[in-house]
Amino acid sequence: MSKCFSFTASRDWCFRYSFSRTGLKSTTVNLHDGATVIHTWIPKTPKPNKPNLILIHGFGANAMRQYNDFISPLVSKFNVYIPDLVFFGESYSSRPDRAERFQAECLMAAMEAVGVVGKVHVMGLSYGGFVAYSMAAQFPEKVDKVVIAGSGVSLDESDMETGLLSVKSIDDAASILLAQTPEKLRELLRMAFFKPPQNVPSCFLSDFIDVMNTEHVQEKRELIETVHKGRKVSNLPKITQPTLIIWGEHDKIFPLELGHRLKRYLGENAELVILKNAGHAVNAEKPKELYKNMKSFLVGTSRLIQFVVI
């Protein structure tokens, strides 16, 4: 018997309605002669007097789910563009490239295709931070300011061996980030949240997996492998844009040490904000604080809150 109701699919419908109400519309862009398709939310009517802001999601399903909690205030201040990364949401590619460099190139090409004029600010959550950083490194003339939230950009391949990371292997990481069972999804929630949701029924978790975690699983695994394999901090390009680094104090996926490491690497060009009583999912646990710090940094109208600068 086919399932007649999906809580996850219904939530996505609500997110679509919410995004549309804020003045965004859904569109797709074909790249590489149709080999790559990028889906993105763009302003229905961009305002020339507003700065442009690209919000890049992490491994958590799709862009709508990660930015819905504070999309409305952001839209009031910026021309907001929210793409689905390749192999997430409605974006995909038949090309074999899995590097964050490729993701960054695709997003910049998509922004040009939808008519973005002038410089852009970029903000990336978790895996999206790798892509945002790559955009800033590849397109310094187009990227103005950078926000990196809970993203292990400064990761070194040896960090897994030395025990800095909670997982012991890429297989472990993939089995959690690409959870295929309710048990693994619960493990992901425990790692992602400082205060993880309790007693979530297995039927809800199975429904989420069916809707969100069954497409492009192999490709996403390859994205994880590519991020880790051969990664050296010494090989990381040093971006020149002003950079805000935001981190949950109790992040178990990318420990806070990686935030400190990135701050040291970028030096005076970066500021580090540590959000208290938050884990990896700062967008879900501390959306107000995340928004306030982003606004302060990008617009410069108020003081950063809850910050530590070293």
What CATH number corresponds to the domain at position 252?
3.40.50.1820
Assess if residue 24 is contained within a domain: yes
State how many domains the chain has.
Answer: 1
The per-residue pLDDT for range 13-53, each reduced to its tens digit, is 999 999 999 999 999 999 999 999 999 999 999 999 999 99
Assess if residue 161 is contained within a domain: yes
**Confidence tier at 1 by pLDDT (50, 70, 90):** very low
Kindly report the average pLDDT of the chain as a whole number: 93
Segments forming the whole domain that contains residue 255: 7-299
Q: Quick check: 134 pLDDT over 50?
A: yes
Sign of the CA dihedral running 187, 188, 193, 194: positive
Assess if residue 86 is contained within a domain: yes
Please say whether the beta carbons of 87 and 39 come within 8 A. Answer: no
Assess if residue 308 is contained within a domain: no
Query: For residue 135, which amino acid is it?
Result: M
> Structure tokens of 261?
């490491």
Beta bridge partners of 37: 30, 92
From residue 107, alpha-carbon distances to 5, 92, 140, 299, 303 in Å are: 34, 12, 14, 23, 31
Assess if residue 2 is contained within a domain: no
Please state, as a whole number, how many other Cβ atoms lie within 10 Å of the Cβ of residue 301: 8
66 or 43: which leads in pLDDT: 43
Instruction: Give the rounded percent of residues in the chain with a pLDDT score beyond 70.
Output: 95
68 or 245: which leads in pLDDT: 245
Instruction: Tell me if the pTM is above 0.85.
Output: yes
Q: Quick check: 68 pLDDT over 50?
A: yes
Assess if residue 37 is contained within a domain: yes
Q: Quick check: 198 pLDDT over 50?
A: yes
Q: Which of 155-164, 206-215, 297-306 has the lowest mean pLDDT?
A: 297-306
Assess if residue 253 is contained within a domain: yes
**Confidence tier at 74 by pLDDT (50, 70, 90):** very high
Assess if residue 304 is contained within a domain: no
Task: Note the pLDDT of residue 63.
Answer: 86
